[in-house]
Structure 1
Amino acid sequence: MTIQTNPNDTNSPSEMSNFFNNVLKRFILIYSVVATLFIAFLFYIYQEYNQNLETSLLNQEETFVSSTTQAIQKEMQIQLMVMQMNTKFKFLADFMEDDNQTTRQALQTHFSNLALTFYRYDQIRFIDLTGRERIRVNYKNNATYIVSEAELQNKSHSTYFKEGIKLAPGKVYVSPMELNVEYGKIEIPYKPVVRFVTPVVDNKGNKIGLIVLNYLATELLQNFRDQMELRIRGQGMLIDPQGYWISNHDRANEWGNSLDQVEQKFVDQYPEAWQAIQQNKQGILKTSQGIFRYKAIDPFSLDSIGSYEVEQKIKLTISEQSKENNNWKLVVFLPNETIQKESFFCSREGKIIIVFFFISLAVIIFLLLIISEEKRRQNNYDLFIKDELNDLYENSPCGYHSLDSKGRVLKMNQTELNWLGYTRKEVIGRSFTDFLTSKSTQVFEEFLKSLPLNKKIEGVVLEIQCKKGNTFFVSTSATSILEQGNFVIARTSAFNITDRIELENRLAYIANTDVLTEISNRRHFFTLANEKFASEEALSLLMLDIDHFKKVNDLYGHDAGDDVLKYIASILQQALPTKAILARLGGEEFAVLLSGLDAKKTLQLAEKICVKIAATPIVINPKLTINVTISIGTSQRDNHKDDIGDLLKRADITLYEAKTTGRNKAI
């Protein structure tokens, strides 16, 4: 600062002394007043800044809280769907009705396929009403192991059996998450498991046993820890209803509910916070140790993932005890040290600036600089908030777009543009139907038509077509905006649910397909056949049986027998008309439903199949080749009152005749 002196002033020593004395007096007076005001102002700013800083840090943790809740609920939803699917399989009732090699092997194969498909189940068991394990398949290192009968255990003493046996059909018991115990000892390395238990009933509705799925939670917890390390500045943890840690930044504190050497609970380390966290579903709590953001996970709720349609398909009901067992709390803890580390006022630079401001002789300049700095910082803060909100909109995990009353795109965020593969310029102004498949176009038009009446619509599933031609599914929700009573804008969110749709299709494939031969199974065959019999077209049936198949298994082993079954299925698929319905009914028995063929042409086709299979050697391995023959029984739809059962009975009779008159023939 340059001080310009008045040229009329004298430069005598006395005048200079008076000048500086006056300046000093004014300086002391002004400095005292300004310093007092500034201290009061600085304290207020400090309080506001700290509050804003804490809010900002907590807002950064909300993404972690939301994504973790959604991931856990989605994972539990999948387990309930798998549980429900398994209660419908006939293998269980067949096994309890007749425990033989065939029914036992069928159930073991089903459990093995289930474990290999989902790779989440450490154990899959069928336990009878006495608590004895009848079938058990273990999964480890990407392979399944069928437990021998000698190693099967009695689990009647276990809590999950006692709770499961009390359940009515359609109910599910879910155990607390705990470390797995085998033969009375905790398994090493530790295996955190959640057991899903539901009754199985026979055709008469009588309870015949329990299905128990040991869901291995190792991957779920590791994903939680990975997200905790990558995305949050605080300490993320999961605690069970008793206050024991399921996951903690200090791994030594985990599994106090299972390990005798771990006695510490959440309340021991955070006594001020425990009561509020235990009693409330969610909230923010500030204590002398720091700030806690907590939320009840409620893993069996589907409210965070927009799964209304899937929820309607899950008919199993979770028991109240199960909900109490798994009333987990997600807690994010921001210690005071973390908050202070982020605070400008607690930083070394901040302290230096504050001291400098107070010792500065240029109080007025200093005050102006502070005002200027505060304005600049406020402008930067406003710009930061604006950029953050824009970034949140543009890069949200879900898509957002706005449409006018005619369905034309007014605005679309970057996430949805990335999904579509278009630039913003290519999208704005175009009808949203340009990005839909033909099947979804009609759904969207009805959705747009009803939006002004309902004002808000949720859970509409649409299939989106990208620029490159690939498609994906979204669940959309929209809110209408009215001006003077007229619909002008629809603001819409879209969640990508392609994984959910693919899972549903995959489960349908598993339910309808014979896993070994990859053709239709018995249940699916009857479903397709009944649809055919609803028409009046000519229908005929082939029932095929591999001759002396037991000898193949006895001589070459069941693996060779499986190869023969797969090879026969492959030959049949090549030899049959494209509209034929081919299925494996069980064992070495196949069935084919044909349309548009009379009895003569049906028999001719069957004879050609016999000849082709007999003439085709089956290569098991370079050192082993097997030749097999088949016998075929045929039947024809005589009148429109016939059903699939009638044709099967008649074909079974002709098959028996072919078997008893020499085999390797069709009748």
Structure 2
Amino acid sequence: MNMKTDSERVTRKAMTLFFVLFLIFGSVLGGLVAVFYRSEIDSFLHDVEIKEWGLMELQGLALENEFDHVTADLLFLSNQNELDDFLMSNSFADRVKVQKEFIDLARIKGVYDQIRFIDASGMERVRVNFDGDMAGVVSLESLQNKSDRYYFKNAMDMGKSGISVSPLDLNVESGVVEQPYKPMIRFGTPVFDSLGKKQGVVILNYLARNLLDKIESVSRTSNGEPMLLNQNGYWMLCQDKELEWGFMLSERVSASFARMFTQEWERMQGQDEGQFQTGNGLFSFRRIYPLREVMGRHTVAQALTEPKKGPEAEYFWVLVSRIAPKMLKAHRNSLIGQLFLFGAALFLMVSLGAWALAVAVTRRRLYQARLVKMALYDPLTSLPNRKLFFDRLEISLNHASRYGRKMGVLYIDLDGFKQVNDTLGHQAGDALLIRVGEILQASSRKSDTVARLGGDEFAVILFEIDGIEGARRAGQKIVESLGEPIALPSGTAHIGGSVGGAVYPDHAEDSDELLKRADSAMYRAKARGKNNCVICSDPPEEG
């Protein structure tokens, strides 16, 4: 009974302490989560704003680039030799040449509904129509007088290289909006003959759907809704196509951004660009001045059918991107869910998980290091073993071949090692091998590789040497070092070393042949009475 009571008391105290700690840590964690939540939301909004603004700038660059291409085409046509010849001769043959140039440009570019040359009286002299697949010349009988059209008058008013730009609207034929809708911008520039006399204008009817498609294409990576508005707040581009062109279509006259987003439209007035958030979402906007885009590269241009005076009359569009509130809310809800799960699992995972992971990772690293050492290093001397020796030999050969250097290999066989084993014991023999490894490393450069190939055989890779004499000096130094008495725990050992060497590329150009030559030289050193260094190219000893 007492044991049961004690057990219950321990449980109650443990539960009480658990709840106290839970409240303490829960309060701290709750505060940290709240700070983290606010920081994440602010960071998310900041990233979205930067991304939207970057896309807005890309859209503006796309529009500028499109204007560049159109104005370049326009000026090219107005200054072509064929047109000048036609102005001077008025011949059928020269007219055909101009028609061919117009057809080629319409077919290649695919963005011009019409290309026309209109003379100073307003009469179309050359006109090419493009239907999306083919470009064709309009017959002389079908050419019309356009002297009363604003785009002709505006273009005729320009000086040399001046360009007029019409508003972006839908194409109208015989007073009726063309179906399917065909967004259009007309670009015009005057044409001067070789005597400097103004003879008419070239007019390009630019299919503005290409421009609108570029805006939408740039916006594909955005979470926002791309829009293009005219200066009165009507949509020229909108995801809901039923809202577009309200200023051209009587049945949509009430469909405008200015009416549906009155507060946001008012905030955009008087500013060229900006970004703000309201209950209707995050709005990014930037004004585009088509006339400035042209004027920045050429001379004065105008676009209004009835030009007004003063800066307030300057023609502009408004690029807008809107991220709807539901998308912003979705991120908040997702973040709240993630933070809740994270907080709930934190107490269970952090302490035990981190400790278990640290132990597992440490054990794995130690185990991997041990495996590497076992695979590549001699367990007795800790020198590179045969496998690592051959790996480094190939590296050294490749380096020497690539940079035109010399390298060498020394084979070393200990003289008198068996006698030490027989007289002082195998433990002394192992100690001797360890000391030999140390002696060889001390006699070699840091860039060289000293390896134990097995038993009492060692090898040295001479990474970069000055040739055969460099190998000989290195080998002779090893012979002299091994010839010194070696102190061991069980006594003093007197041994020597027979060293054979070969040099790349003097003696061989591949690893197998180089090792074979070094091995042969080592046996020649033994034959000379041991404790010698022989390079494979040394002449045989006489006698």
Q: Structure 1 length normalisation: TM-score?
A: 0.45
> Deviation string for 1:163-213 (max 9, x for gaps)?
323323332111122111122222222221211111222344333222111
Which residue number corresponds to residue 643 of structure 1?
A: none
Contact persistence 1:77–1:300 (CA under 8 A): no
User: Structure 1 residue 254 and structure 2 residue 236: aligned?
Assistant: no
Displacement of 1:47 in angstroms is: 1.8
Provide the aligned length of Structure 1 versus Structure 2: 346
Contact persistence 1:84–1:315 (CA under 8 A): no
Change beyond 3 A, Cα 1:336–1:85:
same
Alpha-carbon distance in 2 for matches of 1:183, 1:97: 34
Q: Which amino acid in 2 is paired with 1:274?
A: W
Change beyond 3 A, Cα 1:275–1:65:
same
- Counterpart of 2:226 (choices 233, 236, 240) is 236
Which residue number corresponds to residue 208 of structure 1?
A: 199
Which residue number corresponds to residue 224 of structure 1?
A: 215
Which residue number corresponds to residue 55 of structure 1?
A: 46
- Secondary structure at 1:246's aligned position in 2? strand
Displacement of 1:122 in angstroms is: 0.8
Q: Which amino acid in 1 is paired with 2:244?
A: E
- Secondary structure at 1:195's aligned position in 2? strand
Displacement of 1:26 in angstroms is: 5.8
User: Structure 1 residue 145 and structure 2 residue 136: aligned?
Assistant: yes
Which residue number corresponds to residue 317 of structure 2?
A: 328
Contact persistence 1:170–1:317 (CA under 8 A): no
Alpha-carbon distance in 2 for matches of 1:91, 1:227: 38
Which residue number corresponds to residue 88 of structure 1?
A: 79
Displacement of 1:138 in angstroms is: 0.6
Q: Which moved more, 1:181-190 or 1:39-48?
A: 39-48
- Secondary structure at 2:248's aligned position in 1? coil
Contact persistence 2:116–2:126 (CA under 8 A): yes
Alpha-carbon distance in 1 for matches of 2:3, 2:147: 107
Alpha-carbon distance in 1 for matches of 2:293, 2:167: 19
Alpha-carbon distance in 2 for matches of 1:257, 1:42: 51
> Deviation string for 1:623-661 (max 9, x for gaps)?
xxxxxxxxxxxxxxxxxxxxxxxxxxxxxxxxxxxxxxx
Alpha-carbon distance in 1 for matches of 2:263, 2:278: 7
Alpha-carbon distance in 2 for matches of 1:183, 1:320: 22
Q: How does 1:249-648 map to 2 (within 5 A)?
A: 249-263=239-253, 264-298=255-289, 315-319=298-302, 327-343=316-332, 345=334, 348=337, 350=339, 356=344, 365=347
Contact persistence 1:80–1:316 (CA under 8 A): no
- Counterpart of 2:110 (choices 112, 119, 126) is 119
Displacement of 1:136 in angstroms is: 1.5
Alpha-carbon distance in 2 for matches of 1:286, 1:187: 38
Alpha-carbon distance in 2 for matches of 1:365, 1:100: 92
Which residue number corresponds to residue 151 of structure 2?
A: 160
Q: Which runs of 5+ in 1 are unaligned?
A: 1-9, 304-310, 358-363, 373-667
> Deviation string for 1:424-468 (max 9, x for gaps)?
xxxxxxxxxxxxxxxxxxxxxxxxxxxxxxxxxxxxxxxxxxxxx
Alpha-carbon distance in 1 for matches of 2:325, 2:287: 24
Contact persistence 1:121–1:139 (CA under 8 A): yes
> Deviation string for 1:36-72 (max 9, x for gaps)?
5554443332221111112223444455334333222
Contact persistence 1:345–1:351 (CA under 8 A): no
Change beyond 3 A, Cα 1:302–1:162:
closer
Displacement of 1:320 in angstroms is: 7.8
Bigger-Rg structure (1/2): 2
Displacement of 1:90 in angstroms is: 4.6
Change beyond 3 A, Cα 1:257–1:97:
farther
The percent identity for this pair of structures is: 26
Displacement of 1:239 in angstroms is: 2.2
Which residue number corresponds to residue 190 of structure 1?
A: 181
Q: Which amino acid in 2 is paired with 1:221?
A: L
Change beyond 3 A, Cα 1:33–1:349:
closer
Change beyond 3 A, Cα 1:176–1:11:
farther
Contact persistence 1:344–1:350 (CA under 8 A): no
- Secondary structure at 2:163's aligned position in 1? strand
Q: Which amino acid in 2 is paired with 1:245?
A: W
- Secondary structure at 1:124's aligned position in 2? strand
Contact persistence 2:167–2:303 (CA under 8 A): no
- Secondary structure at 1:261's aligned position in 2? helix
Q: What is the root-mean-square deviation in Å for CA atoms of aligned residues?
A: 3.8
Alpha-carbon distance in 1 for matches of 2:88, 2:96: 14
Q: Which amino acid in 2 is paired with 1:241?
A: Q
Alpha-carbon distance in 1 for matches of 2:227, 2:165: 21
Q: Which amino acid in 2 is paired with 1:201?
A: F
User: Structure 1 residue 134 and structure 2 residue 125: aligned?
Assistant: yes
Change beyond 3 A, Cα 1:119–1:365:
closer
Q: Which runs of 5+ in 2 are unaligned?
A: 355-543
> Deviation string for 1:69-121 (max 9, x for gaps)?
32221121111111222222354455455544334333323322332232221
Change beyond 3 A, Cα 1:279–1:351:
farther
Q: Structure 2 length normalisation: TM-score?
A: 0.55
Alpha-carbon distance in 1 for matches of 2:263, 2:26: 38
Q: Which amino acid in 2 is paired with 1:44?
A: V
Q: Which amino acid in 2 is paired with 1:198?
A: T
Contact persistence 2:33–2:339 (CA under 8 A): no
Which residue number corresponds to residue 58 of structure 2?
A: 67
Which residue number corresponds to residue 432 of structure 1?
A: none
Contact persistence 1:297–1:329 (CA under 8 A): yes
User: Structure 1 residue 76 and structure 2 residue 58: aligned?
Assistant: no
Alpha-carbon distance in 2 for matches of 1:181, 1:133: 18
Contact persistence 1:177–1:192 (CA under 8 A): yes
Q: Which amino acid in 2 is paired with 1:247?
A: L
- Secondary structure at 2:179's aligned position in 1? coil
Q: Which moved more, 1:65-74 or 1:171-180?
A: 65-74
Q: Which moved more, 1:248-257 or 1:335-344?
A: 335-344
